[in-house]
Amino acid sequence: MTYTDVLIIGSGVAALQLAVRLNKELNVRIITKSKIRTANSYLAQGGIAAALGDNDHPDKHFMDTLEAGRFHNHPETVQEIINAAPKLIRNLSSQSDVFDRDQNGELLLGMEGAHCEKRIVHGGGDATGKNVMEHLISKVKENVQIEENTFAFELIIKNKRCMGVKAKKLNGYIEHYYASHVILATGGCGQLYPYTSNAETVSGDGIAMAYLAGAEIVDMEFIQFHPTLLYINGETKGLISEAVRGEGAILVTEDGSPIMEGIHPLKDLAPRHVVSQTIYSYLKQGVKIYLDISKISNFKNRFPTITSNCEENGIAISEGRIPVAPGSHFLMGGIKTDLIGRTSIDGLYAIGEAACTGLHGANRLASNSLLEGLFQGEKLSAWLNKAKMEMRLPDPNYSHYSTTNPERVKLPDVRILKERMMERVGIVRNELDLKKQKDWLNQWETVDQLDSYSMEDINKMFMLTIAKLITDSALRRTESRGGHYRSDYPYEDEINWLKKSIIQKREVEKKNEHIETAVAT
């Protein structure tokens, strides 16, 4: 058993921002499923949005965020985070050369989809996540211990309070971590789909653990599919940042015909769900789609990471076009929290993509995700620095369930699970396909006691749990809004559906049964 003041599960920008801002008197431990540099945050090509330009204002950023989120956002949350953005960026840029600057030393501001002004700061051209993460890693203090290759799989709850977590090492050994405060910063669930920009480890672990422990989960139907992933021979090979379209690239068919003309006033810079749905409609008809980059001067210098990835996969940038397809990119829903990160379970917090604060609404505005992670890490650190650190140790007679011969359960093939999620609960959804998927998912079993299962099987059970939450939520929302598009309900329903759907598992329940409630926002 290990004991600490603050236990952080995950190692992205939200986790590290929190860790480096906690008082050095606190004992802090980070445990992460893989390596600290394999988090989604490290892979982020896009930048961070903040109203820094002379003609910009937080009110404009606020309205862009609501419009992209189709007004499903929590306005007070949006206002506070957007207003804090300029100061967050200035403070970060004053500490290190994280962001790109012009010849006069001013921060370079770029344009991305659904923004009305140039307000995106980048680092290393298209390596913003890496730059920010390396800066934060360099600031980690001696009071912070990091344990890699440690798979958290069950929250320890006693007397309705989270006391810690169980985690498996690569050799199968189970470690019990106890803490005064437990923070889930495990990211989203991109690996539920065959095409994704997400790291291989991002499969909804934290959300599944929180759900199984009884925490409130919200807005799981809202999955953002990034319009442009590098697409070669039926496989996606990494992200092509939205900043490429911000610099003037357009989406075209093989014969060069632009596909966004007449679709949306912003054309290729329309909100992501609009662009993704348009590309998907062409692909379903067997029409290949390309990103025409011929009008972007000095592409290799502006986008070195993208250039390198394309060349490694046999795409010559000099030819002026990149084959693309949409893939799962970001989860707007997740564990319901307040701005500080507090969940419905005492002692348990969630930050970053695993959390749902209400910032993103039904569809995240480009480059608001790293911003949210930085904000939440700072906000929660300020609260924890003042909080009472009261260690709650397990009762002497309290034992953790374990068995050497668990009953084996039927679990789906992960490849088939991903394919069916894309086919039935992907970019375009309808009642028939959603019901088919729900029936298919319900044939597979999950269990509550996971100690004796392999990490592979536990991961499958978590993916199955998340798939059920997404499917149930998508079936229940009988409208189209943001990242949730129903072909049988193609319009927004402001009268009946401008609300959030909360899912919570009963504390005492029958196997595989859960309750669902919808509350007005």
Which residues are identified as catalytic?
A: 272
C-alpha 108/C-alpha 125 separation (Å) is 10
206, with CB counted inside 10 A (0-12, 13-18, 19+), is buried
Please enumerate in sequence order all residues whose Cβ is within 8 A of that of 340, keeping only pairs 6 or more positions apart, or say none. 349, 379, 380, 383
Helix (H, G, I), strand (E, B) or coil at 229: strand
E strand residue ranges, 260-413: 289-292, 321-331, 334-336, 348-350, 355-356
C-alpha 499/C-alpha 339 separation (Å) is 19
Read off the tokens for 412.
């789906």
Q: For residue 509, which amino acid is it?
A: E
Read off the tokens for 49.
């949005």
Residue with tokens 């029409």: 287
Residue with tokens 């859960």: 514
To the nearest 10°, the Cα dihedral for 142, 37, 350, 225?
Answer: 160
Read off the tokens for 55.
């003609």
Q: Rounded to the nearest 5 degrees, what angle is found at the Cα of 33, between the Cα atoms of 12 and 345?
A: 75
* Torsions phi, psi for 265 (to 5 deg): -55, -30
Least Cα distance to 459 among 424, 418, 425 occurs for 418
Residue with tokens 């068995």: 403
Helix (H, G, I), strand (E, B) or coil at 253: strand
- DSSP letter (8 states) at residue 233: T
Alpha helices in 368-411 (DSSP H): 369-386
Q: Which helix (H) or strand (E) holds 238?
A: strand 235-239
Q: Are 225 and 329 contacting, i.e. CB atoms less than 8 angstroms apart? A: yes
Beta bridge partners of 182: 7, 348
Helix (H, G, I), strand (E, B) or coil at 368: coil
C-alpha 376/C-alpha 349 separation (Å) is 11
Q: Are 462 and 404 contacting, i.e. CB atoms less than 8 angstroms apart? A: no
Q: Are 78 and 505 contacting, i.e. CB atoms less than 8 angstroms apart? A: no
C-alpha 258/C-alpha 267 separation (Å) is 9
- DSSP letter (8 states) at residue 154: E
Q: Are 500 and 219 contacting, i.e. CB atoms less than 8 angstroms apart? A: yes
